[in-house]
């Protein structure tokens, strides 16, 4: 596949989403950005720079899906709000995790939200929950990074980032896509991912095999993650949510190794009865 990215200026360009196009804009180029949106879709987005700034807030990126036969959406990027490293407190010690090419990954994730809409339009999925939107967007990030980088380092970085985010604060459970990413990354090697010419083709193969966690399961994981990682959870309860612990270890072990090293990660897991 040839990635189409038609630059209109250094901070405004069109890129493909299936058979449609998305307009990508830096927040510093909002005036030029709005001028490039076709009049037929302008009414679907805030019609002023102030309105877009309010909608964006302090986020690093935002996607606004559009209903149109040619334009799939508008993606806003604020590089100054995209972190280059994240921190996590584990048992009273602070660890940092560097984020490589974080702006590129942020863009791919936002494009993934538009690809998710395209899957619904093509009948591969029915109406999506917010959580399904998130894991589909991250699956697109994995596929896109494999295709363009011929490796999975960036895919695993996103995996670890999702884990670290919930280690810090379980309010990030809405973006904890690890239960799906773990299946994707264990099922396909990089050569197999790059074999799929389109994201639709990959999802056509992957979705029938995917085990999706229901909300009750995610709520149990949320409670166990909080109990395991929160600095405020001082009371030791070795048997707490014991039936979820094997999966929790499977999801978090590689992330802990990347942060602590093998020996320290094993010690931490033992201390947490994992």
Strand partners, 97: 86
Helix (H, G, I), strand (E, B) or coil at 60: coil
Over its length of 274 residues, how does the chain's per-residue pLDDT go in tens digits? 444 555 555 689 999 998 999 999 999 999 889 899 999 999 999 988 999 999 999 999 999 999 999 999 999 999 999 999 999 998 888 999 999 999 999 999 999 999 999 999 999 998 899 999 999 999 999 999 999 999 999 999 999 999 999 999 999 999 999 999 999 999 999 999 999 999 999 999 999 999 999 999 999 999 999 988 876 655 566 677 788 999 999 999 999 999 999 999 999 999 888 8
Q: How far apart are CA 10 and CA 6, in angstroms?
A: 11
135 burial via Cβ count (<10 Å: 0-12, 13-18, 19+): buried
Residues 165 and 175 sit within 8 Å (Cβ to Cβ): yes
Radius of gyration of the chain (CA): 20
- Return the pLDDT at 233: 55
DSSP 136-187: HHHHHHHHHHHHHHSSSHHHHHHHHHHHHHHHH-GGGGGG--HHHHHHHHHH
Closest CA to 158 of 170, 143, 142: 142
Other C-beta atoms within 10 Å of 191: how many? 9
Q: How many CA atoms lie within 13 A of 229 on its CB side?
A: 24
Q: How far apart are CA 29 and CA 10, in angstroms?
A: 9
Q: How far apart are CA 147 and CA 151, in angstroms?
A: 8
Closest CA to 3 of 15, 20, 11, 14: 15
Q: How far apart are CA 86 and CA 177, in angstroms?
A: 17
Q: pLDDT tens digits, residue range 197-210?
A: 999 999 999 999 99
The DSSP 8-state label assigned to residue 120 in this structure reads: H
Q: Please tell me the total number of residues recorded for the chain in this structure.
A: 274
């Amino acid at each position: 596949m040839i990635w189409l990215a038609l630059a209109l200026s250094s901070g405004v360009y069109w890129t493909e989403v299936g058979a449609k196009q998305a307009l990508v804009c830096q927040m510093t180029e909002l005036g030029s950005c709005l001028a490039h949106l076709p009049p037929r879709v302008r009414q679907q987005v805030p019609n002023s720079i102030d309105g877009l700034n309010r909608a964006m807030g302090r986020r690093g990126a935002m996607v606004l899906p559009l209903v149109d036969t040619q334009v799939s959406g508008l993606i806003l990027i604020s590089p100054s709000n995209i972190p280059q490293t994240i921190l996590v407190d584990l048992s009273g010690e602070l660890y940092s995790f560097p984020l490589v090419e974080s702006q590129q990954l942020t863009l791919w994730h936002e494009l993934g939200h538009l690809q998710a809409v395209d899957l619904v339009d093509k009948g591969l999925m029915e109406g999506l929950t917010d959580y399904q939107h998130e894991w589909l967007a991250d699956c697109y990030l994995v596929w896109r990074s494999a295709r363009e980088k011929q490796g999975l380092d960036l895919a695993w970085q996103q995996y670890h980032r999702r884990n670290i985010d919930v280690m810090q604060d379980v309010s990030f459970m809405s973006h904890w896509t690890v239960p799906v990413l773990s299946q994707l990354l264990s099922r396909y090697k990089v050569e197999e991912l790059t074999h799929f010419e389109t994201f639709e083709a990959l999802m056509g193969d992957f979705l029938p095999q995917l085990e999706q966690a229901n909300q009750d399961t995610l709520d149990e994981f949320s409670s166990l993650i909080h109990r395991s990682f929160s600095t405020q959870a001082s009371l030791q309860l070795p048997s707490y949510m014991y039936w979820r612990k094997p999966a929790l270890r499977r999801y978090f072990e590689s992330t802990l190794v990347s942060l602590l090293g093998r020996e320290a990660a094993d010690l931490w897991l033992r201390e947490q009865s994992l």
